[in-house]
């Protein structure tokens, strides 16, 4: 039974989702890093919000961990690179709090435009400074969005309802999508030059860190107002302070900061700065939504292999998971077969080609390729799995090619893996028998139909009389029982393949005896 640790506060309904689906669930919040490291090896899943830090050190201690689920969109508190290297899936919940965060950005924009926090504080202090607080309208102003994904597009919709003109900078925004949203796509210099208000809705990565800096502020209109409800670090706070004090920037509304919790900050002293303590997702609806969503996603993955909203592995919907899983098993086994046959003497793997034809060609092949690479690398690299295998391949300079064939296959469905090294190129193909059972159908162009056994012996030999008798006698003499026996050949008297399933691993001593038999060219012990 999978076991999950909830390390940050989640709703009781989310906890019940785990337990109702048969997942053992512990709730231990407020743990120190050392306390968490001491127990994390017991768990298959870790559910968090923003408080718990999933560091490289924690992941090294998490020997059984399979998935980290972040109830929220940001994963700044998760070392995704280290998680990928360890083969741990990292999921977030990008949709559960999108409306709430977008609404907060609009609220901050209103508060900034009409100086609401200051006016409220003044009035409560017994003053009546009606002439002091002169705001600006949002109607007919130009809003510049930096980031137009889930949250940014909702902000755009709300801003259009306020009769604002909306520009958006987002490298992934297409002209068609911009047209559908009713906004204008712009590059950053144009957005800076034209926007009266700028809001940020992008993740914090190397390419977006300090995207608003001194140079950017200098390029903006005098009197611009800036709203950040996305991530601290997107704005160079020292540069913003200079812009606010000089009058270049009329005001800023910040829900996030470079250092959080932000208990002190020079920006707090300015009257034209509105601040909130990272409240973007802080509504009852959003907190419930993301908690339920992460519980469902993690449960689906641990129980069925379905992958949703993962940052480091291809998606597999809950609906597709039962159909895709047998193909993933097939691809993994074919990869393991090819990997075990690729010996050190063959040289370094340089190229892997994976071909899909028949029914499998209609499926999402990204997770299938990841499974094939995981199988291929498992005999060579301890801990290789479908999460980290594509990264391991890139790091080793292995070129991976995926080919989808529309042509009819001899089989209803077929996957072929070809592995090239400095010395050899070998391929292996397989299908699904009865729709769910992986079966080998071809090795190095030779037809050999065989189910995968736990322990197998692969032999290449010359197709001459006498081999089968000597081979069987050798195994019998070593006390090895043959479960299944499969033969194939390129032509009469040519190269042949013998593939047998046996009841126990074949020792090196027995392999050595097989290799000395007349007609034998190669003998390899396999395990699956």
* CATH code for the structural domain at 3-94+285-304: 3.40.50.720
Burial 91-111 (b: 16+ CB within 10 A, else e): bbbbebbbbbbbbbbbbbbeb
Strand partners, 240: none
**What pLDDT, on a 0 to 100 scale, did the predictor assign at position 46?**
98
Q: Which of 86, 278, 332, 365 is catalytic?
A: 278
**What pLDDT, on a 0 to 100 scale, did the predictor assign at position 8?**
96
What is d(CA 507, CA 514) in angstroms, rounded to the nearest whole number? 11
Q: Using omega within 30 degrees of 0 as the cis cutoff, is the peptide bond preceding 261 cis? A: yes
Looking at the domain covering 319-452, what would its CATH class be?
alpha beta
pLDDT, one tens digit for every residue, the chain (528 residues): 899 999 999 999 999 999 999 999 999 999 999 999 999 999 999 999 989 999 999 999 999 999 999 998 888 899 999 999 999 999 999 888 889 999 999 999 999 999 999 999 999 999 999 889 999 999 999 999 999 998 999 999 999 999 999 999 999 899 999 999 999 999 999 999 999 999 999 988 888 999 999 999 999 999 999 999 999 999 999 999 999 999 999 999 999 999 999 999 999 999 999 999 999 988 888 889 999 999 999 999 999 888 989 998 888 887 788 889 899 999 999 999 999 988 656 778 999 999 999 999 989 899 999 999 999 998 888 888 889 999 889 988 999 999 998 877 678 899 999 999 978 899 999 999 887 899 999 999 999 999 999 999 999 999 899 999 999 999 999 999 999 999 999 898 889 999 999 998 999 999 999 999 999 998 999 999
Summarize pLDDT for 86-97 with one digit per residue, the tens: 999 999 998 888
Q: Which DSSP symbol is given to 478?
A: T
Strand partners, 399: 351
Burial 285-311 (b: 16+ CB within 10 A, else e): ebbbbbbbbbbbbbbbbbeebbbbbbb
Backbone angles phi, psi at 462, to 5 degrees: -85, 140
* Burial group, residue 148, by CB count within 10 angstroms (0-12, 13-18, 19+): buried
* Burial group, residue 433, by CB count within 10 angstroms (0-12, 13-18, 19+): middle
Q: Which of 231, 332, 365, 416 is catalytic?
A: 231
Angle at 240 between CA 278 and CA 224, to 5 degrees: 95
3-state class of 420 per DSSP? strand
Establish how many alpha carbons lie within 13 A of residue 156's alpha carbon, considering only the half-sphere containing its beta carbon: 26
Angle at 303 between CA 300 and CA 305, to 5 degrees: 65
Establish how many alpha carbons lie within 13 A of residue 14's alpha carbon, considering only the half-sphere containing its beta carbon: 28
**What pLDDT, on a 0 to 100 scale, did the predictor assign at position 460?**
92
Listed by start position, the domains of the chain span 3-94+285-304, 98-275, 319-452, 453-528
Q: Which of 16, 260, 395, 410 is catalytic?
A: 260
Radius of gyration of the chain (CA): 30
Backbone angles phi, psi at 432, to 5 degrees: -110, 125
**What pLDDT, on a 0 to 100 scale, did the predictor assign at position 203?**
87
What is d(CA 308, CA 474) in angstroms, rounded to the nearest whole number? 51
Was domain 453-528 assigned CATH 3.30.70.260? yes
In this structure, the chain runs to a length of 528
**What pLDDT, on a 0 to 100 scale, did the predictor assign at position 191?**
98
Question: Is-catalytic flag, 278?
Answer: yes
**What pLDDT, on a 0 to 100 scale, did the predictor assign at position 406?**
80
Q: Are 118 and 112 in contact (CB under 8 A)?
A: no
Q: How many helices, marked H, and strands, marked E, lie in the chain?
A: 17, 22
Residues 6+ apart with CB under 8 A from 237: 257, 258, 265, 266, 267
* Helix-helix angle 98-114:116-124, to 10 degrees: 60
- How many CB atoms neighbour CB 175 within 10 A? 9
Nearest to 273 by CA among 293, 257, 289, 259: 257
Burial 373-391 (b: 16+ CB within 10 A, else e): bbbbbbbeeeebbbbbbbb
Looking at the domain covering 98-275, what would its CATH class be?
alpha beta
3-state class of 483 per DSSP? strand
* Burial group, residue 14, by CB count within 10 angstroms (0-12, 13-18, 19+): buried
Distance separating the N- and C-terminal Cα atoms of the chain: 23
Same topology, domains 319-452 and 453-528? Answer is no
What is d(CA 235, CA 249) in angstroms, rounded to the nearest whole number? 13
Nearest to 305 by CA among 320, 291, 293: 320
- How many CB atoms neighbour CB 246 within 10 A? 10
- Give the residue carrying structure tokens 């299938």: 368
3-state class of 98 per DSSP? helix
Summarize pLDDT for 427-464 with one digit per residue, the tens: 999 999 887 899 999 999 999 999 999 999 999 999 89
**What pLDDT, on a 0 to 100 scale, did the predictor assign at position 375?**
94
pTM of the prediction? 0.69
């Amino acid at each position: 039974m999978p076991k999950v640790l909830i390390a940050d506060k989640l709703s009781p309904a989310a906890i019940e989702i785990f337990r109702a689906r048969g997942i053992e669930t512990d709730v231990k919040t407020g743990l120190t890093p050392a306390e968490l490291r001491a127990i994390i090896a017991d768990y298959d899943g870790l559910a968090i919000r923003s408080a718990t830090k999933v560091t490289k050190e924690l992941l090294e201690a998490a020997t059984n961990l399979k998935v980290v689920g972040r109830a929220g969109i940001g994963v700044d508190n998760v070392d995704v690179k280290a998680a990928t290297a360890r083969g741990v899936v990292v999921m977030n919940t990008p949709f559960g709090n999108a409306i709430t965060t977008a609404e907060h950005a609009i609220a901050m924009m209103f508060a900034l435009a009409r100086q609401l926090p200051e006016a409220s504080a003044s009035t409560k202090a017994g003053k009546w400074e009606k002439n002091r607080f002169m705001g600006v309208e949002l109607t007919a102003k130009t809003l510049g969005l930096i980031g137009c994904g889930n949250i940014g597009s909702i902000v755009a919709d709300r801003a259009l309802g306020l009769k604002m003109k909306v520009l958006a900078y987002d490298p992934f925004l297409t002209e068609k999508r911009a047209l559908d949203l009713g906004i204008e796509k712009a590059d950053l210099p144009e957005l800076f030059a034209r926007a009266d208000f700028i809001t940020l809705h992008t993740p914090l990565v190397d390419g977006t860190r300090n995207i608003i800096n001194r140079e950017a502020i200098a390029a903006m209109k005098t009197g611009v107002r800036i709203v950040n409800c996305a991530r601290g670090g997107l704005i160079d706070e020292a540069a913003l302070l200079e812009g606010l004090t000089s009058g270049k920037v009329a005001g800023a509304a910040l829900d996030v900061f470079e250092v959080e919790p932000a208990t002190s900050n020079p920006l707090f002293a300015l009257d034209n700065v509105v601040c909130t303590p990272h409240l973007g997702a802080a509504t009852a609806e959003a907190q419930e939504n993301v908690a339920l969503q992460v519980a469902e996603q993690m449960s689906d993955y641990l129980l069925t292999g379905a992958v949703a909203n993962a940052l480091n592995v291809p998606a597999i919907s809950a609906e597709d998971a039962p159909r895709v899983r047998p193909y993933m098993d097939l691809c993994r086994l074919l990869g393991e077969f090819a990997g075990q046959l690729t010996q050190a003497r063959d040289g370094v793997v340089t190229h892997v080609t994976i071909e899909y034809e028949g029914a499998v060609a209609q499926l999402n092949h990204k997770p299938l390729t990841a499974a094939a690479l995981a199988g291929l690398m498992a005999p060579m690299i301890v801990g290789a799995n479908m999460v980290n295998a594509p990264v391991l391949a890139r790091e080793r300079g292995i070129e991976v090619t995926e080919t989808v064939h529309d042509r009819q296959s001899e089989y209803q469905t077929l996957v072929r893996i070809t592995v090239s090294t400095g010395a050899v190129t070998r391929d292996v193909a397989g299908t699904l028998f009865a729709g769910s059972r992986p079966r080998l159908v071809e090795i190095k162009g030779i037809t050999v139909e065989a189910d995968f056994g736990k322990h197998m012996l692969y032999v290449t030999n010359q197709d001459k009389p006498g081999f089968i008798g000597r081979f069987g006698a050798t195994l019998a003499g070593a006390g090895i029982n043959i479960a299944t026996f499969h033969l194939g050949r390129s032509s009469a008297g040519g190269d042949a393949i013998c593939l047998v399933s046996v009841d126990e691993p074949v020792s090196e001593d027995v392999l050595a005896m097989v290799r000395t038999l007349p007609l034998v060219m190669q003998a390899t012990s396999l395990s699956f």
